[in-house]
Amino acid sequence: MTSASTTRPWLSITPAPAHSSSPFALRHTDMLSLFHHARTQSGTQAALHYFDQTITYAQLNYYSDQFAAYLLANGLQKGERVALYLQNIPQFTICALGIWKAGAVGVSINPMNRAHELTQLLHDSGSSTLILHRNLYEQVAREVLQELPHVQAIVTSSKDFQSRNDLRIIKPEDDTATCPDAIDLLEILQATYTEEYVAPLIKQADQHDPAMLVYTSGTTGVPKGAIITHGNLSADAQIYRAWIDIPDGAAILAMSPLFHVTGLVGHLALAFACSSATVLMCRFQPEVVAEATQEYQPQFVVGAITAFIALMNHPKVSAKQLSSLKRVYTGGAPVPAVLAAEFEAKFGMPMRNCYGLTESTALALSVPPSQNTPVDADGAFSIGIPVFCTDAYIADEQGTPMAPGEIGEIMLRGPQIIPGYWNKPAESQASFINGYLKTGDVGYMNEAGWFFLVDRKKDMIIASGYKVWPKEVEDVIYSHPAVLEAAVVGVADPYRGETVKAVISLKPGHIVTSDALIDYCKQRLAAYKYPRVIEIVDELPKTVTGKILRRLLRN
């Protein structure tokens, strides 16, 4: 059996520069250096398009300076955490840059998260500031912040930085909330700050400093903050740009959420690497995506397969509207070849695959744009080959490399691999073997070096590209007074890939309907997490030791 360090058959199909002869050079070691290079190259050019308004790189630099100065003026210390609880609006990019310029760490929080989840992440990250939409303050955060009085709230509006107010995306009631004890972001950006707070702004960060905490669930279902360093984020953005072969100034369509690692790297950071603009639309809506693509002519997009299915099946989305796109990539869930063929038939462009996870700062394996995607015997797309600066192999349970065709765990190493999890040294150490990240994803590599995904981490559910851990859902179900036992599994769904199903038994003398339990979960979990199906049974199947047999429930 050969060593991981010597068996790299993919090098013969890797675009130049290949790993072995002339390694790909990373010019920038941190996100601020990457941004300032883009600003120097494209100061008067667009950095952000948002409906009918455009923010240039010079304006983005000014706004982010303003926010950074505010943070310093209000006592922020180096390394403090500032949480972003936002949709795809310009304020996400403005504030992320400002956070970095002030020497702080961003914490991305899914705006679909509810009070329980928000409390958990703010507490774990130790965030001192929370930036959020006005409606989220009123609907979710107000009660949370009463329990966390040390967290300063900064509110903002989806209507800021644009005037189109598209009712398909921006609802009138979204921004009418009054937010006592919160500061308005626009006031911060319009204020005047003395040189005392402007002078210390950082122009180049240490590559080892954390840039973002992006939360993912561990094997227990407890959220873990993946520490994405400045080096991780800037490296993967530069690798992304070179691998996909995106020219300078080519706009990026932001179809994935910025709070997710795909959007953070494949939209925000990638645009800086290309000195180009990000096309933002607040949230995904097929018609709006198509219209924005036609208006601003982006050349690259990466998104979940469910988003492409929605575009394919929307009667008002045409091939002409999407004709500017030159590179279309998907990831986050297995892609049936038949869907990719349907997409290409309708829009005239091939869809290619990429693979990564939060712990790999998104991109780790991908299909080169010059290559057709191989399909395995089961009709599944290859997830690609290792991108520049990245090594991968298939391992057995001991981490030993396996031969081509043998099924095992996908292992990764490269400059985009995170150093570990926030305040979790044991879990961090357990995630690596000999410097390689244990992805927990099961697959194989063929003789040519193409990787294929066979299975996922045990028990994990991927619904519309989002990872859902059963225990997190079960904890909420168990909080219902009528529930005796509960088990959550993923079941096949033609649109979402998988959907969440719960099987429960009730306490003696208690009566509750499946619909009532679904509604109970819906109020406490993000939209992609709550179970769409709940089955009530007399008793759940178990082993002789009392462990619930999830595999029987899936079947």
**CATH fold of the domain at 461-554:** GMP Synthetase; Chain A, domain 3 (3.30.300)
Question: What's the distance, Cα to Cα, between the start and end of the chain in Å?
Answer: 36
Give pLDDT, residue 366. Answer: 97
Give pLDDT, residue 390. Answer: 95
Q: What is the pLDDT of residues 144-164, one digit of tens each?
A: 999 999 999 999 999 999 999
Q: How confident is the model at residue 332 (pLDDT cuts 50, 70, 90)?
A: confident
Q: How confident is the model at residue 17 (pLDDT cuts 50, 70, 90)?
A: low
Give pLDDT, residue 220. Answer: 44
Q: Extract the runs of DSSP E, i.e. beta strands, from 187-272.
A: 210-217, 223-229, 252-253
Q: How confident is the model at residue 533 (pLDDT cuts 50, 70, 90)?
A: very high
| Count of other CB atoms within 10 angstroms of residue 492 | 9
Helix (H) or strand (E) holding 492: strand 483-493
Of 104, 147, 143, the residue nearest 127 (C-alpha): 104
Give pLDDT, residue 486. Answer: 87
H-assigned helices in 348-422: none
Q: Is the pLDDT of residue 247 over 90?
A: yes
Give pLDDT, residue 356. Answer: 94
Give pLDDT, residue 550. Answer: 75
Q: Is the pLDDT of residue 7 over 70?
A: yes
Mean pLDDT of the 507-523 span: 94
Q: How confident is the model at residue 219 (pLDDT cuts 50, 70, 90)?
A: very low
Q: Where in the chain is CATH 3.40.50.12780?
A: 25-330
Mean pLDDT of the 450-463 span: 78
| ∠ CA 220-226-228, rounded to 5° | 170
Q: How far apart are CA 264 and CA 49, in angstroms?
A: 16
Give pLDDT, residue 540. Answer: 85
Helix (H, G, I), strand (E, B) or coil at 127: coil
Question: CB neighbours of 78 closer than 8 A, spacing ≥ 6?
Answer: 103, 104
Among 228-232, 337-341, 458-462, where is mean pLDDT lowest?
Answer: 458-462
Mean pLDDT of the 465-472 span: 79
Give pLDDT, residue 333. Answer: 67
In the chain, what percentage of residues exceed pLDDT 70? 94
Give pLDDT, residue 4. Answer: 52
Question: CB neighbours of 137 closer than 8 A, spacing ≥ 6?
Answer: 153, 155, 177, 179, 182
Q: What is the pLDDT of residues 191-208, one digit of tens each?
A: 999 999 999 999 999 999
Give pLDDT, residue 548. Answer: 74
Of 135, 87, 75, the residue nearest 111 (C-alpha): 87
Q: How confident is the model at residue 19 (pLDDT cuts 50, 70, 90)?
A: very low
Give pLDDT, residue 457. Answer: 58
Q: Is the pLDDT of residue 23 over 90?
A: no
Report the chain's mean pLDDT, rounded to a whole number: 91
Mean pLDDT of the 246-251 span: 95
Give pLDDT, residue 221. Answer: 56
In the chain, what percentage of residues exceed pLDDT 90? 75
Q: Is the pLDDT of residue 135 over 50?
A: yes
Domain 25-330 -> CATH class:
alpha beta
pTM recorded for the entire structure: 0.85
Tell me which of 19 and 49 has the higher pLDDT: 49
Q: What is the pLDDT of residues 370-417, one digit of tens each?
A: 999 998 876 778 999 999 999 999 999 899 999 999 988 999 999 999
Q: Where in the chain is CATH 3.30.300.30?
A: 461-554
Q: How confident is the model at residue 473 (pLDDT cuts 50, 70, 90)?
A: confident
Q: How confident is the model at residue 1 (pLDDT cuts 50, 70, 90)?
A: very low
Give pLDDT, residue 514. Answer: 96
Question: CB neighbours of 491 closer than 8 A, spacing ≥ 6?
Answer: 498, 499, 501, 533, 554
- Quick one: how far is CA 488 from the chain centroid? 23
Q: Is the pLDDT of residue 218 over 60?
A: no
Mean pLDDT of the 83-107 span: 98
Q: Is the pLDDT of residue 339 over 60?
A: yes
- Backbone φ and ψ for 390, nearest 5 degrees, come out as -120, 140
Give pLDDT, residue 543. Answer: 46
Q: Is the pLDDT of residue 471 over 80?
A: no
Among 3-12, 476-485, 513-522, where is mean pLDDT lowest?
Answer: 3-12
